[in-house]
Amino acid sequence: MAIPDQILKKPTKLTSDETAIMREHCLKGYELIKKIPFLEEPSEIVYAHHERYDGTGYPRALRGEQIPLGARVVALANTLDSIMSDLPYRAASSLQSARKEIQLWSGRQFDPDVVGVFLKIPDQIWVDLRQHLRNVPQTKPNN
């Protein structure tokens, strides 16, 4: 959200200045949607979705239960999607690799309770969901 394409699509490691710009998307997204009455409460999820369960995340270094539950779920989902997607700097990995990586970071990056629920979901659910999302027509904004 509001991050220049040259940063989003950069195939190599970001500089410290580029990383700082990239990290602004949490605040920018939050500020954008908190003004919409029915999105005011979910705006906290947008703001906190890069917080880490151990307190080492950003933008506010929240930890554990300080992080809204929705943001803890979105953090895991965002990581799952990133691992399983081709990115400018690396190829996609398998669902099994994503599960192992997420389990490895349980209690540090991710809420262990959210990880526990995630690991109980059968693989086929994720496969079907990704396939469905690929088949959903993309909407274009009105000009």
pLDDT number for residue 8: 87
Please give the C-alpha separations between residue 64 and each of 50, 71, 107, 119, 128, in angstroms, as whole numbers.
13, 11, 9, 19, 31
Domains defined for the chain, CATH in brackets: 15-134 (1.10.3210.10)
- Confidence grade of residue 31 (pLDDT, cut at 50, 70, 90): very high
Q: Which residue would you say has higher pLDDT here, 137 or 69?
A: 69
pLDDT in tens, 11-30: 899 999 999 999 999 999 99
pLDDT beyond 90 at 79 = yes
Report the run of H or E that residue 55 belongs to, with start and end: none
pLDDT beyond 80 at 57 = yes
Backbone phi and psi for residue 2, each to the nearest 5 degrees, phi listed first: 65, 30
Among 13-17, 55-59, 83-87, 139-143, name the one with the lowest average pLDDT.
Answer: 139-143
